[in-house]
Chains A and B, each alone.
Chain A
């Protein structure tokens, strides 16, 4: 068994040449995790979660702290035994295999570099049973890949955080794993290094064509790096989709609120097939197949950047009257806080946020107390059943 494993590990893997097949077109499922339950005593960390990854795909697991994302990674790795559910790698059931037999590379949040070994020895640590010349060649190759070949004889403590992170990546990759697992790989770094390393990791991942699972609590990281994102909350799978889908078509209010910012308008009443009553206004909504019945309650949601400032003179559909409560400068955008007014110009006690991107608040001469018309474009309005996440 060990011999076969070693042979498997020493299979040629590509470092400089591109993969034979581009990973995006290879639709064969490589990793599949089915119906995982994991409890720690009375606490449920994972509740019936199933995810999968195609060969060469970059999947990110995203969620607030304590949602079970690291546990999920540890279950995939075989570092944690689940209470229920199975793990499949490359069509093989590895549920009962320990981490040693799963042929994967892990980069931990703390990097866990061996402090008493040089960078070169760290990277070559998993290459036991090979000739030392082979080992060194392979280690240097990996260090070259992460751009640290010149640091080979230093110790981890002598490198910066970002460099240590890349050493950990090189170490995880050097025995040619089939699956790469990253546990919050960038969380310990400062913002600038983080942005740079995001691209680095993605470049290396694409170059090797290795299937990768990354855990993160940073939505920007997940959205920019991953092909698909798993959103977890309180141990439950919220949505598993591409970043675009997550942003444009969130499956539930949690995802809608967690990814980006979102205005929620609660307590609307549906009237007819595609319109909604809100404080005397009638809004056109495309709520298609959400299963909402006529006359029922509904929660509308719209992103602040999708709100438009309307022209006073032209009466467009879906317009609302609002009063500026404050303007906040945020660099690229101006965020305007609005108090919604009824058609008669009375405050109705709702607040909306509006992000101005094309023209600044100054251009529009928006000031506190100023009244204006806003437009809620029907195509951008999302609708959710009521009472879900009412506390948001």
Chain B
């Protein structure tokens, strides 16, 4: 139907003479509500993100002014010291007055000293004015990054001014734009200056453009065999030349390795675990959807299990299995020495295994849906034309799930790339970006660098997100006819093969989820097994008391539950209402498109980035507007350190998935419900409450369950936002593990898993109860 506007299509047609209806009071209420939804997402997503970018590209320059009092001046020769941007400028009395810059005596020229970005002017044997335009770097080396001049000068009435404003007594901080300097610092490209940065940026842009052109020409070559191959070849050659140039440039400019190792580590872990996880998930889903093996429901449940646990759990389980004193490393404590196998857990191996388990459930879910919606008629056609098993697989099965496969790859990549929990526990010396963010912010309190690493973390994530959106849009376009579901026929060899395959994977998942649980019941791992004479008590519940360990114990646990409950309630209400307004309102196209876009954005944001963005945004008394010179007072700072902010961060973190669930549920309702009630002059909120909500209640329960379970297990966003008054269970796991209390950490993980399983069952039960009650009006 042409009259339905597809809000995902941002094409706006400007009509000149369209008749506009008079707006009723209800219309204004709707408009206001949608506007509020947009504001909520702006404050929850966009403004904090802008703050991150601001912090990554700005640095505080501290100015410290020390002046002797009159009595002190008589005592010694000290006449003042000013420290700023790494320079220390000291003035001692003498004849003539002696000036020291960074402990080196320097000569004055007509009362002025100039070197690098520093200018010192003296008057009457005292500082008169000091300006600086660059940071002091290593000795003898001039810093090539300059920033807008900072001027420190003495006012006529005796006090000091920094940037024309009266300086405080002790230390004054002045914020300066430093461009991409932090990024180059992170990658160890110290010798760069502004000019080379420009060159580098233009080359990077060129390279991206060339890669895009290459991909496009390869794509076209695949779809259109007659397209010229020469173009592809030329592009390859140009790219090759660029790559050689880039290597030469890097090798000449790289002062030290910086922390860039983390980037390649993160990419490596994400790529390896994504490919393995998607392949395994595909096999698993294929077994469930395309064979006649038994216990399919059980396998499905096991595959979902990792969703209930914080990612630290897999790390802990791996430590108990393959760690230095792990069950398998020690060959069941030397009882089965032939089994002993050290896989060098700490590092890339451990992180990758944990990420595979972590990314398995979403990949599996996406692929199961993709396989289930394939058209059986295609298989019948392939069969009737005599295609063999393998030919059918490559010509029918793979093409029909390719969008699902791509989506699974993007989702898994994003999750593995940005995960923090597992590498924190088993990473050891193996640094990844997510842990770097944590270390910069929590360990070194270097917020600027934390913001920088977050932005680096965002780049591949946002690219994956954009690619996924493009793929999904294409996928929608290809689903046309109503397909016939595929019903597998029994085939002994295949069924047994997949039964074995799925059993092995399920066993792996179960062991990674519950190994830590078993270990948390052991009194003293591993001595209860190796030295039973010293530790006679093997099994105990004492680790579940959380006595004598940090993290907050049961207080943290109940805080987490309370947070999850609040997130579920408010998250469901906000998400569903927003989805309703965006989906079921006529007109107001711009607002709705804006709202839809803002609702999709959180999917691209890793929890860590949300966390760090919230620290910045909800902590600063004024916030900066992009590209504008002035700032606005921030009315939201009162939220900092409260439960409300934790709940908001969780709602935003998991917003998109829930929003899309709600949108799907709403799209299944008749498009004319709103028109019918409008034609009968029934206000929209009445229809919303009497019809829309009751019909969509199962979907709302699903959303609430997702919010609850995810909030219980998440650590990435909340680790920056919890306060000592508000300890949280998942943060407690990290802290206990940091302190070496592995067994209580495992115990806390198990509590989280159990709570989530129980909550999920409760939600499933209430959903079932509701369906039973309303069976009369639900079709079949």
Q: Of all chain A residues, which has the CB nearest B20?
A: A81
Task: State which of B35-43, B203-211, B410-418, B690-698 sits at the interface with chain A.
Answer: B690-698
- Select B670's contact among A9, A110, A158, beta carbons within 8 Å: A110
Q: Is residue B686 contacting chain A, with contact meaning CB distance below 8 A?
A: yes
Residues of B within 8 A of A9 (CB): 681
Decide: A98 and B17 in contact? CB cutoff 8 A. no
Q: Is residue A225 contacting chain B, with contact meaning CB distance below 8 A?
A: no
Interface size of B as a range? 35 or more
Q: Is residue B394 contacting chain A, with contact meaning CB distance below 8 A?
A: no
Decide: B3 and A74 in contact? CB cutoff 8 A. yes
- Select B686's contact among A97, A108, A128, A172, beta carbons within 8 Å: A128
Q: How far is the CB of A33 from chain B (nearest CB, A)?
A: 12
- Select B691's contact among A95, A101, A117, A171, beta carbons within 8 Å: A117
| With known contacts A116-B691, A126-B681, A96–B675 Cβ distance under 8 A | no
B26-41 vs A: 1/0 string, CB under 8 Å? 0100000000000000
A2 to B17, CA, bound (A): 29
A328 to B108, CA, bound (A): 116
Decide: B19 and A96 in contact? CB cutoff 8 A. yes
Q: Is residue B195 contacting chain A, with contact meaning CB distance below 8 A?
A: no
- Select B682's contact among A43, A125, A155, beta carbons within 8 Å: A125
Q: Is residue B227 contacting chain A, with contact meaning CB distance below 8 A?
A: no
Q: Is residue B103 contacting chain A, with contact meaning CB distance below 8 A?
A: no
Q: Is residue B774 contacting chain A, with contact meaning CB distance below 8 A?
A: yes
Q: Of all chain B residues, which has the CB nearest A121?
A: B690
Decide: B20 and A158 in contact? CB cutoff 8 A. no
Decide: B672 and A108 in contact? CB cutoff 8 A. yes
**In the complex, which of the residues A70, A77, A106, A172 has the most CB atoms of chain B within 10 Å of its own CB atom?**
A106
Decide: A157 and B779 in contact? CB cutoff 8 A. yes
Decide: A104 and B673 in contact? CB cutoff 8 A. no
| With known contacts A117-B690, A126-B682, A156-B777, A95–B19 Cβ distance under 8 A | yes
Decide: A81 and B691 in contact? CB cutoff 8 A. no
**In the complex, which of the residues B2, B24, B774 has the most CB atoms of chain A within 10 Å of its own CB atom?**
B2
A52-71 vs B: 1/0 string, CB under 8 Å? 00000000000000000011
Q: How far is the CB of B38 from chain A (nearest CB, A)?
A: 23
Q: Is residue A375 contacting chain B, with contact meaning CB distance below 8 A?
A: no
Decide: B680 and A126 in contact? CB cutoff 8 A. yes
Decide: B690 and A106 in contact? CB cutoff 8 A. no
A97 to B27, CA, bound (A): 13
- Select B690's contact among A77, A100, A114, A155, beta carbons within 8 Å: A114
Q: Is residue A39 contacting chain B, with contact meaning CB distance below 8 A?
A: yes
Decide: B677 and A125 in contact? CB cutoff 8 A. yes
Q: How far is the CB of B694 from chain A (nearest CB, A)?
A: 5
**In the complex, which of the residues A40, A95, A114, A175 has the most CB atoms of chain B within 10 Å of its own CB atom?**
A114
Q: How far is the CB of A188 from chain B (nearest CB, A)?
A: 13
Q: Is residue B104 contacting chain A, with contact meaning CB distance below 8 A?
A: no
Residues of B within 8 A of A128 (CB): 682, 686
Decide: A78 and B21 in contact? CB cutoff 8 A. yes
Decide: B19 and A82 in contact? CB cutoff 8 A. yes
Residues of B within 8 A of A223 (CB): none
Q: Of all chain B residues, which has the CB nearest A174?
A: B680
Q: Is residue B772 contacting chain A, with contact meaning CB distance below 8 A?
A: no
Residues of B within 8 A of A155 (CB): 776-777
Residues of B within 8 A of A95 (CB): 19
A156 to B673, CA, bound (A): 14
Decide: A114 and B691 in contact? CB cutoff 8 A. yes
Decide: B680 and A125 in contact? CB cutoff 8 A. yes
Decide: B778 and A115 in contact? CB cutoff 8 A. yes
| With known contacts A81-B18, A112-B672, A112-B673, A175–B777 Cβ distance under 8 A | no
A353 to B748, CA, bound (A): 86
Q: Which chain B residues (4-61) contact chain A, with CB distance < 8 Å?
A: 11, 13, 15, 17-24, 27
Residues of A within 8 A of B1 (CB): 70
Q: How far is the CB of B392 from chain A (nearest CB, A)?
A: 37
Decide: A110 and B672 in contact? CB cutoff 8 A. yes
Q: How far is the CB of A140 from chain B (nearest CB, A)?
A: 18
Q: Is residue B301 contacting chain A, with contact meaning CB distance below 8 A?
A: no
Decide: B3 and A81 in contact? CB cutoff 8 A. no
Q: Is residue A5 contacting chain B, with contact meaning CB distance below 8 A?
A: yes
B interface: dominant SS: loop
Q: Is residue A90 contacting chain B, with contact meaning CB distance below 8 A?
A: no
Q: Is residue A79 contacting chain B, with contact meaning CB distance below 8 A?
A: yes
A40 to B2, CA, bound (A): 7
Residues of B within 8 A of A104 (CB): 679
Residues of B within 8 A of A125 (CB): 676-677, 680, 682
Q: Is residue B383 contacting chain A, with contact meaning CB distance below 8 A?
A: no
A158 to B780, CA, bound (A): 10
| With known contacts A115-B777, A116-B774, A117-B691, A100–B678 Cβ distance under 8 A | yes
Residues of A within 8 A of B778 (CB): 115, 157
Residues of B within 8 A of A387 (CB): none
Residues of A within 8 A of B691 (CB): 114, 116-117
A5 to B686, CA, bound (A): 18
Residues of B within 8 A of A349 (CB): none
Q: Is residue A41 contacting chain B, with contact meaning CB distance below 8 A?
A: yes
Residues of A within 8 A of B2 (CB): 40, 43, 45, 71
A167-185 vs B: 1/0 string, CB under 8 Å? 0000110010000000000
Residues of B within 8 A of A42 (CB): 13
Q: Is residue A105 contacting chain B, with contact meaning CB distance below 8 A?
A: yes
Q: Is residue A80 contacting chain B, with contact meaning CB distance below 8 A?
A: yes
A79 to B678, CA, bound (A): 9
Residues of B within 8 A of A83 (CB): 15, 17-19
A114 to B671, CA, bound (A): 12
A110 to B22, CA, bound (A): 28
Decide: A79 and B15 in contact? CB cutoff 8 A. no
Q: Of all chain B residues, which has the CB nearest A105?
A: B679
A29 to B21, CA, bound (A): 24
A41 to B678, CA, bound (A): 26
Decide: B22 and A98 in contact? CB cutoff 8 A. yes
Residues of B within 8 A of A106 (CB): 675-676, 679
Residues of B within 8 A of A79 (CB): 586, 675, 678-679
Residues of B within 8 A of A40 (CB): 2-3, 13
Decide: A108 and B676 in contact? CB cutoff 8 A. yes
Residues of A within 8 A of B678 (CB): 79, 98-100
Q: How far is the CB of A302 from chain B (nearest CB, A)?
A: 37
Q: How far is the CB of B684 from chain A (nearest CB, A)?
A: 10
**In the complex, which of the residues B678, B680, B774 has the most CB atoms of chain A within 10 Å of its own CB atom?**
B680
Q: Of all chain A residues, which has the CB nearest B11?
A: A41
Q: How far is the CB of A38 from chain B (nearest CB, A)?
A: 9
Q: Which chain B residues (754-780) contact chain A, with CB distance < 8 Å?
A: 774, 776-779
- Select B681's contact among A5, A37, A81, A85, beta carbons within 8 Å: A5
Q: Is residue A343 contacting chain B, with contact meaning CB distance below 8 A?
A: no
**In the complex, which of the residues B670, B671, B694 has the most CB atoms of chain A within 10 Å of its own CB atom?**
B670
Q: Is residue A84 contacting chain B, with contact meaning CB distance below 8 A?
A: yes
Q: Which chain B residues (685-717) contact chain A, with CB distance < 8 Å?
A: 686, 690-691, 694-695
Residues of A within 8 A of B690 (CB): 114, 117
A157 to B24, CA, bound (A): 34
Q: How far is the CB of A65 from chain B (nearest CB, A)?
A: 11
Q: How far is the CB of A123 from chain B (nearest CB, A)?
A: 11
A128 to B686, CA, bound (A): 10
A81 to B20, CA, bound (A): 6
Decide: B682 and A96 in contact? CB cutoff 8 A. no
A-B contact list, 22 entries, CB within 8 Å: A6-B681, A40-B2, A43-B2, A45-B2, A77-B675, A80-B3, A81-B18, A82-B19, A83-B15, A83-B19, A95-B19, A100-B681, A102-B679, A104-B679, A105-B680, A110-B672, A112-B672, A112-B675, A155-B777, A157-B779, A172-B679, A175-B680
Known: A77-B675, A104-B679. 4 other contacts (CB 8 A): A105-B679, A105-B680, A108-B675, A115-B695
Interface, chain A (partner B; CB < 8 A): 2, 5-6, 9, 37, 39-43, 45, 70-71, 74, 77-85, 95-102, 104-106, 108, 110, 112, 114-117, 125-126, 128, 155-158, 171-172, 175
Closest 6 CB pairs of A and B: A126-B680, A155-B777, A112-B672, A98-B21, A108-B672, A112-B670
